[in-house]
Chains A and B, each alone.
Chain A
Amino acid sequence: MQYQSKIWVYGGLVLFFLWNRDINKRVNSTKVKELIILIMEVIAQFMNGLNLGSIYALIALGYTMVYGIAKMLNFAHGDIIMVGAYTLSIAMSFLSLPAPVAIFISMAVCALLGIVIERIAYKPLRMSSPLAVLITAIGVSYFLQSVALLIFGSQQRKVESAVNLPSLLIGGVEITGEAMVTLGVTIFIMAALTSFMKYTKTGMAMLAVAEDKGAAQLMGINVNKTISVTFGIGSALAAVAGVLLTSSYGFVGPYTGSMPGIKAFVAAVLGGIGSVPGAMVGGLLLGIIESLSKAYISTELADAIVFGVLILVLLVKPTGLLGKKRIDKV
């Protein structure tokens, strides 16, 4: 059933593009032409939204995984993106390494950083109140920003795009190489992560730790290792997001990660924090809403609209779109 509906959607899209290709020859009325141009424009904005949304989704995945398993909001997550972007920039321009190697190094550095942060800052607080952990996370966030400021200065740094692909023109809509890669990478990571959670022992262990650390430990699951792996994966994904973000925008500064970090947090809450597919849906939705409101309503109001949507969703469904209701029995 699901498979069939997918075929309809893809088939419809292909037909639309084919029909659209020689529309100019067949249609003479200027009104229809204008309408088509408008539709193309909306589609282009939609693609922009998907690009931005994919990046949000990647960051949101990290938020949601850490929240789901370690039960904490890692507000330093956004700044890991910045570290990833700086690492990429150094690896590519100073060490002039090829892009794939630079990306790999950036992911490894961030994964390690995530694990170290958890060990030093969060692990000693595992038994204390969630508020203490939250404030520590905010502290770590400022720490990372200040260190970046100290090393690189407040000047934004230009970064070469790690993606070297020509733009693609489909039916009058231009899709940049970066957008294609971003979308492709996000879908791939999403699939890999789902498979990881479902079909590996570590994934199972994560679910068990999420539910009951004590019981998991007594079943022979290494809780510390599991949480480290969670932070490692989340931070590596943040590095990928950093690479894609700077590839699309071309600059990195000490505060590069903070706004996308907050937006991604919103995306995670919108989709239902703790849910992996929720992060994906929330991220994409947020990106699309943001870029459509920027294009058609107001650039200044775009962020307000994004947060407005969040408030609306939470009023109707407090657990987020795909979040599960949690009943705590006493």
Chain B
Amino acid sequence: MILLELKNLSIAFGGLKAVSELNMKIKKGELYGLIGPNGAGKTTVFNLLTGVYRPTEGQILLEEENLVGKSTIEINKKGIARTFQNIRLFHHMTVLDNVKIGLGNQLKYSVLEGMLRLPRFFKVEKEMDEKAIELLTVFGLEKEKDILASNLPYGKQRKLEIARALATKPKLLLLDEPAAGMNPNETGELMKTIKFIRDEFQMTILLIEHDMKLVSGICERITVLNFGSELAHGETNTVLNNPQVIAAYLGE
């Protein structure tokens, strides 16, 4: 079953075509990679998917529903969550609160219930705490739940960002360079975590990555972007051995 389909997706900033006529089909439960040299338009694709930019042409279909023109919040409700290339956690909040912000779109109580601390406040808060800790445990962060997000080591901040995105209960998870700045050990661990998330939550994951070890290790299919257009797509190993792709990465 196709979860996400991009049809002729294009965006131009003035005369610059950042993404042009991109087509992509991602199946439910798939681990899909989006790779390409710097400036190829990968993050722009993420910004299009999350409604930060509006495409000049084309369609974004999530479960056959067109998302073009919908606001970021609506898209979040429809089930797309993302992490960022440069970590964008709520640094002045605790690890637990960061995840609880993500849970906020499912578990609610009114302002009055919160301010007067009525029974429902405690009930919902407890439920949120439990869910948040459950998620943090997946990432091995449960011991650090009460410290400020900014005090976490870099690798754990990346993991927390994924946990926060998962808390919004997405159908599709977008990871923007999850392994950026990680050492080989941390990357290895991250690969296991990403696979685990897919299997445990039956999540569909689209990731941007430069680390070819990670891409070839976990992605089932990939699309290669170069100067905003598709260069190749298909099974990871076939595509990575494509001479055109090698040329784009290494030069002729």
Contact = CB atoms under 8 A, between A and B. Distances in A.
Contacts of A20: none
B135 to A, nearest CB: 14
B168 A219 contact: yes
B114 A219 contact: no
Contacts, number: 75
Interface string B13-47: 00000000000000000000000000000000000
Contacts of B50: 218
A214 B114 contact: no
A221 B121 contact: no
A2 to B, nearest CB: 20
Interface in B150-176: 164, 168
A219 B76 contact: yes
A250 interface: no
**Chain A interface main SS type:** helix
Interface string B196-227: 00000000000000000000000000000000
Interface string A204-219: 1101100110111111
A196 B100 CA distance: 17
Query: How many of chain B's residues touch chain A, expressed as a range?
Result: 20 to 34
B61 interface: no
B100 A204 contact: yes
Interface string A141-171: 0000000000000000000000000000000
Given A207-B93, A218-B82, A221-B101, A200 B72 contact: no
Given A211-B91, A211-B92, A203 B114 contact: yes
Nearest to A217: B72
Contact of B101 (A192, A195, A204, A214): A204
B53 interface: no
A211 B90 contact: yes
Contact of B168 (A195, A212, A220): A220
A202 interface: yes
Nearest to B104: A201
Contact of B90 (A196, A199, A200, A215): A215
B90 A221 contact: no
B105 interface: yes
B117 interface: yes
A205 B115 contact: no
12 contacts: A200-B111, A200-B114, A201-B114, A204-B104, A208-B101, A214-B88, A216-B90, A217-B76, A219-B105, A220-B73, A220-B105, A324-B92
Given A201-B109, A203-B114, 4 more contacts: A192-B115, A201-B104, A212-B90, A220-B102
The 5 closest A-B pairs by CB, nearest first: A200-B114, A220-B105, A215-B88, A220-B76, A199-B114
Interface of B: 50, 52, 72-73, 76-77, 81-82, 84, 88-93, 97, 100-102, 104-105, 108-109, 111, 114-115, 117, 121, 164, 168
